Amino acid sequence: MTDTLTSSADQAAKPRATGPLAGIRIVEFAGLGPGPFASMMLSDMGADVVTLMRGEQKQGLRGAIMMRGRRQIACDLKDKACVAEVLKLLDGADALIEGYRPGVMERLGFGPDAVLARNKRIVYARMTGWGQSGPLANAAGHDINYIAVTGALAAIGPSDRPVPPLNLVGDYGGGGLYLVVGILAALLEAQKSGQGQVVDCAMCDGAASLMSLFCELTTIGRWKDGRESNLLDGGAHFYGTYQCKDGEFISLGSIEPQFYAELRRLAGLDEALYDGQMDAKQWPAMKAKMAEVFKTKTRAEWCAIMEGTDVCFAPVLSLSEAPGHPHMAERKIFVDVDGVVQPAPAPRFSRTPSAIRKTVAAELGAVAKEWSGR
């Protein structure tokens, strides 16, 4: 990591670009959740991302991790003079990111027709929960709702109730990551055709796409409805979490026969009961006995026995513990930026490495003029 986040004192400086997207220019209309997350990733990878803030600049806010690496411009999108300047800015952009409800950008004067008429090669990326069409397109919602209708939420949690998996599946997996993929794919196509297009990225679409494996397993009869009934949902005794003597937890993923054999050896699971690894009818009994076994030692003691082996084992760490784990520390998966511990850019590139860059305030007219040479 070369640069760090800074305050608005660095008024005019342009964040120094590195990474495979250096030279790509993106305008982000400030929003929540997956939009800023996608913009953070694109900025980390070298894109020059300018964020249009509606009177809520965050470059001086300590801990605004997902706002890192951008030039931020405060502007009133209802002011005609500001609208004209933003349109000039978009004339020089490669991509636009917005996360408003359908129709809002059109009312503000920045709809796809208006923007593409001026800049035919721009990638116009729209991030919503329900998408730009359909009966729920204009309804309010959050991550939990978007994953509820895809089958994902129903499959996660203990047998008695579904449990929200934070907002990772809808907002950041099905939303932010698919937004990045969609933008990059459209940018590649625009390089060949010279024409931009609209990317309709919906969290419910992305969450459904993430369920592809489970649709496949259902089709071939290897997955059934009902939480804690299947191989990967906590039903299997060899794939799940167990509480230790000290109240902490460990995780197991001993699916393959050779890994399961190593689990049995190191945990002392000698009983004939464990011979039928894939006998789902016996899984509850095996889980109950294994729960007793793992409560005989602390998490640290089980780590000393199993970590680094082919058991497919890892301790369940809290977010505050994770940066101190030896593997995390060695790879610098978390970094300290001005006293704020945060995830480092991912993925990694051998020749054009990503970097966390400064967040700075900027002037709309100055950036629009800078980008006007295209």
Which residues are tagged catalytic?
Answer: 142, 171
Q: How many angstroms separate the CA atoms of 122 and 196, rounded?
A: 5
Distances (CA, A) of 240 to 81, 168, 228, 336: 58, 19, 10, 31
Max distance between CA atoms of the chain, in angstroms, equals: 78
Q: Is the CB of residue 46 less than 8 Å from the CB of residue 18? A: yes
Find, among 166, 169, 167, the residue nearest to 208 by Cα.
Answer: 169
Q: How many angstroms separate the CA atoms of 356 and 45, rounded?
A: 9
Strand segments (E) across the chain: 25-29, 48-53, 71-74, 95-98, 123-128, 197-202, 239-243, 249-253, 313-315, 334-337, 340-343, 360-361
β-bridge mates for residue 251, sequence order: 241, 314
Q: How many angstroms separate the CA atoms of 168 and 123, rounded?
A: 25
Distance, C-alpha 264 to centroid of its chain: 35
Strand order in the sheet with 360-361: 197-202, 123-128, 95-98, 25-29, 48-53, 71-74, 360-361
What number of other Cβ atoms are within 10 A of residue 91's Cβ? 15
What number of other Cβ atoms are within 10 A of residue 180's Cβ? 21
What number of other Cβ atoms are within 10 A of residue 192's Cβ? 7
Q: How many angstroms separate the CA atoms of 43 and 336, rounded?
A: 18
Distance, C-alpha 367 to centroid of its chain: 29
